[in-house]
Amino acid sequence: MTLNKDLRIGRHAILLLLSDQPAEQMKKLEQSNWKGCVGKVGSMDAHKVVAAIETAAKKNGIIQTDVYRESHALYHAIIEALHGVTRGQVQLGSILRTVGLTFAVLRGNPYINEQEGEWIAVSLYGTIGAPVKGSEHETIGLGINHI
Amino acid sequence: MTLNKDLRIGRHAILLLLSDQPAEQMKKLEQSNWKGCVGKVGSMDAHKVVAAIETAAKKNGIIQTDVYRESHALYHAIIEALHGVTRGQVQLGSILRTVGLTFAVLRGNPYINEQEGEWIAVSLYGTIGAPVKGSEHETIGLGINHI
Amino acid sequence: MTLNKDLRIGRHAILLLLSDQPAEQMKKLEQSNWKGCVGKVGSMDAHKVVAAIETAAKKNGIIQTDVYRESHALYHAIIEALHGVTRGQVQLGSILRTVGLTFAVLRGNPYINEQEGEWIAVSLYGTIGAPVKGSEHETIGLGINHI
Amino acid sequence: MTLNKDLRIGRHAILLLLSDQPAEQMKKLEQSNWKGCVGKVGSMDAHKVVAAIETAAKKNGIIQTDVYRESHALYHAIIEALHGVTRGQVQLGSILRTVGLTFAVLRGNPYINEQEGEWIAVSLYGTIGAPVKGSEHETIGLGINHI
Amino acid sequence: MTLNKDLRIGRHAILLLLSDQPAEQMKKLEQSNWKGCVGKVGSMDAHKVVAAIETAAKKNGIIQTDVYRESHALYHAIIEALHGVTRGQVQLGSILRTVGLTFAVLRGNPYINEQEGEWIAVSLYGTIGAPVKGSEHETIGLGINHI
Amino acid sequence: MTLNKDLRIGRHAILLLLSDQPAEQMKKLEQSNWKGCVGKVGSMDAHKVVAAIETAAKKNGIIQTDVYRESHALYHAIIEALHGVTRGQVQLGSILRTVGLTFAVLRGNPYINEQEGEWIAVSLYGTIGAPVKGSEHETIGLGINHI
Ligand SMILES: [Mg+2]
Ligand SMILES: [Mg+2]
Ligand SMILES: [Mg+2]
Ligand SMILES: [Mg+2]
Ligand SMILES: [Mg+2]
Ligand SMILES: [Mg+2]
């Protein structure tokens, strides 16, 4: 069941966001049999962050639109990632803060054992703070789920 | 108050952990006027993770041992980082899971404005899962505080 | 202080919801000296779920409208039940999910000892998921309080 | 993606626990192609509740012992069920309370669409309260996950 | 249902703790028909804080020992007060912190309307911090429940 | 690092709110070198509570408007205080409750050691309950941070 060191899905998902060329990085990953996408979202509404990631994942064919188990896997990965971003209450505008985030969704098998099948990682990186330009610090989140 | 793009403390703190040579990376950062340290901790006790990071930060002179305000800043940054790692309840063994983590602590001013003074970032990266070899997936956390 | 096996208020409150004829079941319970009501609510707003249950309980005379201690007991029982439904954050639309629930409120003494007086149970059963027909799974919650 | 009314996995999992003959009920479900098991656990340690359920599920062949994705699905379903039981903090003895629970694990496809594959439900029912005989009330929890 | 300004139970419960002579203050309150007690507890275990308050309340006759509904009311008031003290996770030693607290329990009717019956307030005041002398700041909590 | 008994910032911040003449009390504190302000806010929106306190603190010169580290310190102190007020979920109207609060912000060094520098305390006192006059009980919160 051991993680394959070269296939660490979470590490890849975060490096994508911290890279200066996320789109190019994504292409390289696709050549190694990963599926994935990157995007941006800024909002005071947590549900808009969720929606932006779900939409991007569906539009890019990372998850199947009409199979609930895939949406379910993605949803929980997103919420787990948001825990890292929000650190306590999964709330933004309702406690007067806003986020500006890049996100990545990555899909593939990070384990040596093929039976482990596919997993999904959602990574978030950006800033969180008051709805005042510059009154913000960095934030990160990672959610991982079997799919 | 804007973040200085080259001085993003959270991004640096995470890249340190994802790097293949964290110690060398740390040296480069020190040459750019950052203070910091890296370390490892594996445990089923969240308090041992907290203690390992606090001890490393004090031993490496990242925070002053005898000034409570510095410990206080670090403590809250650690707990925030643990929220990303645990995603819901800051608990490990008490809900039958364990972590194997690398950590970094970084100190410096990430803002363009000098008045913003020093900030501290705590980053965590590793695995979380059942206390069974290989039954685990990746996890990440980042906490940032003014110091 | 032991629970009376035949008078387990939580068990009754849930069986009501899982029954094919909740209204008939409710009548039987009323004959055994329970007060109670059943209802339905679907919403993306947690506060509408709370309001629907409070309104039903007042309209059916389960709690006294003008005595705050009874509303207080009911309110906390509702919020406890919502914890089971939401499993982590008592939030619905704000994290892009919706519920379709049936609910029951039951009032009576589940203990052998008469001194234990009256208690109130709120049970919730239904589905939770994305605001997309069928993208949902079941969910349940139970809150119990002295009244 | 719609739930099949006769195959509501959560409802079945809870009715098992509220039944007077859970073992016989389980047999009937097995004849309808469900896999499942029931058991009991009493503890002040949440991790012992988790362990009891995991052990029963593995011993009864509900999940594969050597495939992490199956343990991962079960683990998250257990933790979600514990949210219903604990209603706020997934803690027992550490805040001076104890549980006496029956549990069920059920596996199968609750959806009309075969593509939705297998799902797992963990249900919990029993009492929670002070570590004093009789100072307790009922509690319930349900966790559902794709597997 | 309005609160009686002179009988604000929470305000009284906190002033007791902030007073220089809590015991004398308690006597005055008893002359105005309040029941109550004050005490001290220092611990890294949240369950010891709960136990200390429960024991004091029973020993001083604030709640009836053999009536579960009274213990239940007190327990939830204690846990609510601990939320104010811990601000996020009701955990002490498990995340490497300790408390030194004074506590008060007060019982009576704070409302103008007699029908509102008796309520209970639990107040906590003291310090929270690292298990190192002086590495701590103040903390407060208040829980109120009908009884 | 020991707290100076006469300079307990949290105690002062709460006594201000429980005093019959908060404005006069505030003046006395200012003569002892504390900075601070008091105010009132009633709302079903947690973000309006946050905004009211931030605005008051800036308008009264308790924190510097254009230095993010000061806003950051205040923000976290406010959120910590709200934990005491909300006891579980930092939510008001979204779970059908409202608050009527007085608040105080106090700034100064509560420690014997001058090196500990300045700290900030946010205290909240008032009522929380249903959006129905009188259906409410008291609530309190305190957040303390280095600044
Ligand atoms: Mg997981
Ligand atoms: Mg912050
Ligand atoms: Mg209870
Ligand atoms: Mg789910
Ligand atoms: Mg209340
Ligand atoms: Mg603190």
* Per-residue H/E/C for chain A: CCECHHHCHHHHHHHHHHCCCHHHHHHHHHHCCCEEEEEEEEECCHHHHHHHHHHHHHHCCCCCCCCHHHHHHHHHHHHHHHHHHHCCCCCCHHHCCEEEEEEEEEEECCECCHHHCCEEEEEEEEEEECCCCCCEEEEEEEEEEEC
Does residue F81 contact residue F143 with C-beta atoms inside 8 Å? yes
- DSSP code, position E92: S
pLDDT of the residue at D75: 98
Sequence letter at residue F112: I
Ligand with minimal distance to F73 CA: 2
C-alpha–C-alpha distance, residues C90 and F95, integer Å? 8
Does residue F137 contact residue F129 with C-beta atoms inside 8 Å? yes
- Counting the structural domains of chain C, the total is 1
List alpha helices for chain B, DSSP H.
9-18, 22-31, 46-59, 68-86
**pLDDT tens per residue, range E3-59:** 888 899 999 999 999 998 888 899 999 998 899 999 999 999 999 999 999 999 999
**Cβ neighbours of residue A12 closer than 8 Å, sequence gap 6 or more:** A29, A34, A106, A121
pLDDT of the residue at F1: 55
pLDDT of the residue at E2: 85
E94 to chain D, any CB pair closer than 8 A? The answer is: yes
- Minimal-distance CA residue of chain A relative to C95: A47
**pLDDT tens per residue, range A96-138:** 999 999 999 999 999 999 999 999 999 999 999 999 989 999 9
- DSSP code, position F16: H
Give Cα E120 distance to the centre of its chain: 9
Q: How far is E57 from chain C (nearest CA, A)?
A: 18
Query: What residues are paired with D41 via a beta bridge?
Result: D101
CB spacing of A140 vs B142 below 8 angstroms? yes
pLDDT of the residue at F22: 85
Q: How far is D96 from chain E (nearest CA, A)?
A: 5
Of the residues E45, E86, E89, the best mutation for testing chain B's interface (the one with the most B CB atoms within 10 Å of its CB) is: E89
Query: Which range of residues forms the domain containing residue E82?
Result: 5-146
Which positions in chain F touch B69 (Cβ < 8 Å)? 116-117, 119, 146
CB spacing of B1 vs F76 below 8 angstroms? no
F134 to chain C, any CB pair closer than 8 A? The answer is: yes
Helices (H) and strands (E) in chain D — how many of each?
A: 4, 4
C-alpha–C-alpha distance, residues C47 and E8, integer Å? 28
List alpha helices for F21-115, DSSP H.
22-31, 46-59, 68-86
Q: Stretch F53-77: mean pLDDT, rounded? A: 97
Of the residues C1, C58, C68, C109, the best mutation for testing chain E's interface (the one with the most E CB atoms within 10 Å of its CB) is: C68
Does residue A77 contact residue A122 with C-beta atoms inside 8 Å? yes
Helices (H) and strands (E) in chain F — how many of each?
A: 4, 4
pLDDT of the residue at B2: 85
B91 to chain D, any CB pair closer than 8 A? The answer is: yes
pLDDT of the residue at C23: 84
**pLDDT tens per residue, range C88-100:** 999 999 999 999 9
**Cβ neighbours of residue C27 closer than 8 Å, sequence gap 6 or more:** none
Q: Stretch C53-77: mean pLDDT, rounded? A: 97
A136 to chain C, any CB pair closer than 8 A? The answer is: no
**pLDDT tens per residue, range E71-90:** 999 999 999 999 999 999 99
Nearest-5° Cα angle at E87, E86 to E88: 100
C-alpha–C-alpha distance, residues C38 and C102, integer Å? 7
pLDDT at residue E144 is higher than 70:
yes
Which positions in chain A touch D68 (Cβ < 8 Å)? 1, 111, 116
Q: Which of B54, B71, B90 sits opposite E91 (nearest CB)?
A: B90
pLDDT of the residue at E1: 55
**Cβ neighbours of residue A114 closer than 8 Å, sequence gap 6 or more:** none
First to last CA, chain E: 16
| Ligand 4 geometric centre to CA of A71 (Å) | 10
- Touching chains, A (3+ CB pairs < 8 A): B, C, D, F
pLDDT bucket at A20, cuts 50 / 70 / 90: confident
User: Domain with F82 in it: what CATH number?
Assistant: 3.40.1510.10
**pLDDT tens per residue, range F9-59:** 999 999 999 998 888 899 999 998 899 999 999 999 999 999 999 999 999
| Ligand 5 geometric centre to CA of E109 (Å) | 15
Does residue A83 contact residue B88 with C-beta atoms inside 8 Å? yes
pLDDT at residue C43 is higher than 60:
yes
**CA nearest A43: which of A104, A108, A93?**
A93
Q: For chain B, which residues score pLDDT lower than 50?
A: none
Q: Stretch D29-56: mean pLDDT, rounded? A: 96
CB spacing of E68 vs D93 below 8 angstroms? no
Nearest-5° Cα angle at E93, E90 to E99: 75
Query: What residues are paired with A43 via a beta bridge?
Result: A99
pLDDT bucket at E100, cuts 50 / 70 / 90: very high
Ligand with minimal distance to C145 CA: 3
Distances (CA, A) of C25 to A34, C8, C13, C22, C37: 54, 15, 10, 5, 10
For the CA atoms of C108, C111, C114, C120, the dihedral, rounded to the nearest 10 degrees, stands at -30
Strand order in the sheet with D98-108: D35-43, D98-108, D119-129, D136-146
Does residue E122 contact residue E103 with C-beta atoms inside 8 Å? yes
For the CA atoms of B136, B91, B79, F102, the dihedral, rounded to the nearest 10 degrees, stands at 140
Does residue C104 contact residue C37 with C-beta atoms inside 8 Å? yes
**CA nearest E35: which of E106, E121, E102, E104?**
E106
**pLDDT tens per residue, range A23-69:** 889 999 999 889 999 999 999 999 999 999 999 999 999 999 999 99
CB spacing of F68 vs B1 below 8 angstroms? yes
A83 to chain B, any CB pair closer than 8 A? The answer is: yes
- Average pLDDT of chain C is 96
E28 to chain C, any CB pair closer than 8 A? The answer is: no
pLDDT of the residue at D32: 87
Does residue D34 contact residue D12 with C-beta atoms inside 8 Å? yes
pLDDT bucket at D1, cuts 50 / 70 / 90: low
For the CA atoms of B19, B24, B25, B29, the dihedral, rounded to the nearest 10 degrees, stands at 170
Which range (C137-146, D79-88, E19-28) has the least confidence?
E19-28
Which positions in chain A touch B14 (Cβ < 8 Å)? 14, 18, 140
Give me the residue label for tokens 């690292």.
E130
CB spacing of F117 vs B69 below 8 angstroms? yes
Structure tokens at E61: 């006759």
pLDDT bucket at A1, cuts 50 / 70 / 90: low
Give me the residue label for tokens 């906190």.
E14
Structure tokens at D33: 């192609």
pLDDT at residue D136 is higher than 60:
yes
Burial of residue E5, with CB atoms counted within 10 A of its CB: 0-12 exposed, 13-18 middle, 19 or more buried: exposed
For the CA atoms of D94, D100, D104, D110, the dihedral, rounded to the nearest 10 degrees, stands at -70
C-alpha–C-alpha distance, residues E106 and F85, integer Å? 19
CB spacing of B72 vs F115 below 8 angstroms? no
Which positions in chain C touch F93 (Cβ < 8 Å)? 47
Query: What residues are paired with D3 via a beta bridge?
Result: D111
| Helix axes of E9-18 and F9-18: crossing angle, nearest 10 degrees | 140
C-alpha–C-alpha distance, residues D29 and D21, integer Å? 13
The residue ranking higher by pLDDT, F2 or D83, is D83
Q: Stretch C37-44: mean pLDDT, rounded? A: 97
Gyration radius (Cα) of chain E, Å: 15
**Cβ neighbours of residue C75 closer than 8 Å, sequence gap 6 or more:** C50, C54, F96, F97, F130
For the CA atoms of E110, E59, E37, F11, the dihedral, rounded to the nearest 10 degrees, stands at -110
pLDDT at residue C70 is higher than 90:
yes
Query: Coil, helix or strand for F111?
Result: strand
Burial of residue B110, with CB atoms counted within 10 A of its CB: 0-12 exposed, 13-18 middle, 19 or more buried: buried
| Ligand 4 geometric centre to CA of D116 (Å) | 14
Which positions in chain E touch C73 (Cβ < 8 Å)? 146
Q: Stretch C47-63: mean pLDDT, rounded? A: 98
Query: What residues are paired with F138 via a beta bridge?
Result: F127
- Minimal-distance CA residue of chain C relative to D128: C144
Does residue C134 contact residue C122 with C-beta atoms inside 8 Å? no
User: For residues B67-76, b (16+ Cβ closer than 10 Å) or e, as one string?
Assistant: bbbbbbbbbb
CB spacing of B72 vs F146 below 8 angstroms? yes
- DSSP code, position D114: G
List alpha helices for E2-97, DSSP H.
9-18, 22-31, 46-59, 68-86
pTM summary value: 0.98
C-alpha–C-alpha distance, residues D64 and D67, integer Å? 6
Share of chain F above pLDDT 70, in %: 99
Nearest-5° Cα angle at D46, D43 to D48: 60
